[in-house]
Amino acid sequence: MGLDDDVTHRLLVTNRLHQGTSMNSYLLGLLAGLAVGVTIAVIIKWRDRRRPMTTVERADQLSQRRARMLPALAVVFLTQQAMFFSQMPGAEHAPVERVKMSAWLVLSLVLLAALATKSFWLEPRAVRDLMEDENTQANRNEAMRWGFLFAMGTAVAVYVLGMFEPVTGREAVHIIMTFGIATALLRWGVLERRAHAHG
């Protein structure tokens, strides 16, 4: 084994060790985030159970909560994209990057499900039905329309960008989904907040 081979081998070993540490830290962060999320959900659930409410009151409360949550979710979703674009070129197959990509994909699918369904899956059916009345449906349809138009606009922009700068398929999908979902979330949040504001 020559000197160059020996140095290359040592660098590879160091790199693997570094990746292992990064993944452990990232998984730890992910688990801590999940634990905080679950704790908040349990506290909210416990606090809500202490106050008996009619179906309309409960639907109203959750609807207002959703209106507040939607823009915040959009911001969290957008800021998460910084991680994707900050990754080192060629590092996309590193274990830590796979975990990051999976986390992004899971969050995207959860947000899409929240946009496309009645969401609040743990609530009674009567409450969920009331939260999905025609005003909410109209707001959701409008938000989906905006999301679709922004996704298409972004696709055109990525297509044009591809003429000047190489864009991988994964990057293109990532950018288009991000803008489509974030726009729909923001628009729905704005419409819901406006609907609640005229009290």
Partner 1 sequence: MAERLSNRLKDRRGELGWTQAELAERVGVSRKTVNTVENGVFVPSTVLALKLAAVLERPVEELFWVEA
Positions in the binding site for partner 1 (CB under 8 A): 54-57, 59-60, 63, 130-131, 133-136, 138, 192, 194-196, 198-199
For residue 191, the minimal CB distance to partner 1 (Å) is: 10
Burial of 3 (0-12, 13-18, 19+ CB in 10 A): exposed
Find, among 58, 61, 66, 180, the residue nearest to 125 by Cα: 58
Centroid of chain to Cα 29: 16
Shorter beta-carbon distance to partner 1: residue 16 or 68:
68
- The amino acid occupying position 156 is V
Q: What is the C-alpha to C-alpha distance for residues 125 and 6, in angstroms, rounded to an integer?
A: 65
Our CB check for partner 1 shows the closer of 107 and 195 to be 195
Task: Quote the CA–CA distance of 32 and 60 in Å, as a whole number.
Answer: 31
> 4 or 134: whose CB is closer to partner 1?
134
CB of 130 to partner 1, least distance (A): 5
In the complex with partner 1, the residue whose CB is nearer, 62 or 74, is 62
Instruction: Please state the closest distance from residue 199 (CB atom) to partner 1, in A.
Output: 6
Q: Which is nearer to partner 1, 21 or 135 (CB)?
A: 135
In one letter, which amino acid is 70? Answer: L
Q: Letter for the amino acid at 76?
A: V
Q: Among residues 5 and 134, whose Cβ is nearest to partner 1?
A: 134
Q: How far is the CB of 137 from partner 1 (least distance, A)?
A: 10
Residue 54 CB, nearest distance to partner 1 (Å)? 7
Query: How many CA atoms lie less than 13 Å away from 161 in the CB half-sphere?
Result: 14
HSE-CB for 79 with a 13 A CA cutoff? 6
Q: Write the single-letter amino acid at 130.
A: L
User: Min. distance of Cβ 148 from partner 1 in angstroms?
Assistant: 22
